[in-house]
Chain A
Amino acid sequence: DQQVKQNSPSLSVQEGRISILNCDYTNSMFDYFLWYKKYPAEGPTFLISISSIKDKNEDGRFTVFLNKSAKHLSLHIVPSQPGDSAVYFCAASAEGAGSYQLTFGKGTKLSVIP
């Protein structure tokens, strides 16, 4: 049973527009959420995180929104750039584990078209 779901395997966006990647979770004990970015033949790299005590966290062009009642989070990239083309993984952990015990989604492949 997938506890972290990324229902869109792929997404294409024009350069300069907004990219919105979605993630749903089923485990109500999750209290920390992360987004990782992965280029081909490289390992995932940390992008941004959010604790369940917040509903928004922003870092430059990247913003993560958390809707706890809906068990949903989203990553917004504004403006999108061709270098953002990668696979994005949503991950979550529970009960104060922070980055320690992560459950990953299947990933969404973002293609930013010049």
Chain B
Amino acid sequence: EAGVVQSPRYKIIEKKQPVAFWCNPISGHNTLYWYLQNLGQGPELLIRYENEEAVDDSQLPKDRFSAERLKGVDSTLKIQPAELGDSAVYLCASSFLRGRQFFGPGTRLTVL
């Protein structure tokens, strides 16, 4: 069974540029999570979807971050414009309903 797929794996951009991350969850998993992991820290939830609905986006910085999950499968997380402090690993996870979360490998973002 394929795991959670994320792309790109690495991204280097200059500040003020836009960037987008893509996540394909495990087949059949209706719940999708985006996490931010700063260096030396644990993952912190940015947004959680149940099917197409964002049920918790309280930690998403909405002035520059946006996310979508069309058709309740794949999801895209966007940052526009990126700032130096956005350099981090962005993790996507999925679960069946409220069950165990399975994580993708993450996208490492470097903002110069």
Contact = CB atoms under 8 A, between A and B. Distances in A.
Interface of A: 4, 9, 36, 41-46, 89, 91, 97-102, 104-107
B101 A99 contact: yes
Contacts of A107: 40-42
Nearest to A34: B100
Given A43-B93, A43-B106, A44-B43, A98 B101 contact: no
Given A99-B99, A100-B95, A107-B41, 11 more contacts: A4-B42, A9-B40, A42-B105, A43-B93, A43-B106, A45-B102, A46-B101, A89-B43, A99-B95, A99-B101, A106-B41
- Size class of the contact patch on chain B: 20 to 34
B73 interface: no
B4 A99 contact: no
B21 interface: no
Nearest to B9: A41
A52 to B, nearest CB: 17
A97 B42 contact: no
Contacts, number: 52
B53 interface: no
A71 B75 CA distance: 37
6 contacts: A43-B106, A45-B102, A98-B99, A99-B99, A100-B31, A106-B40
B98 interface: yes
Interface in B59-112: 91, 93, 95, 98-106
A97 B56 CA distance: 14
A61 B51 CA distance: 37
Contact of B98 (A4, A98, A104, A106): A98
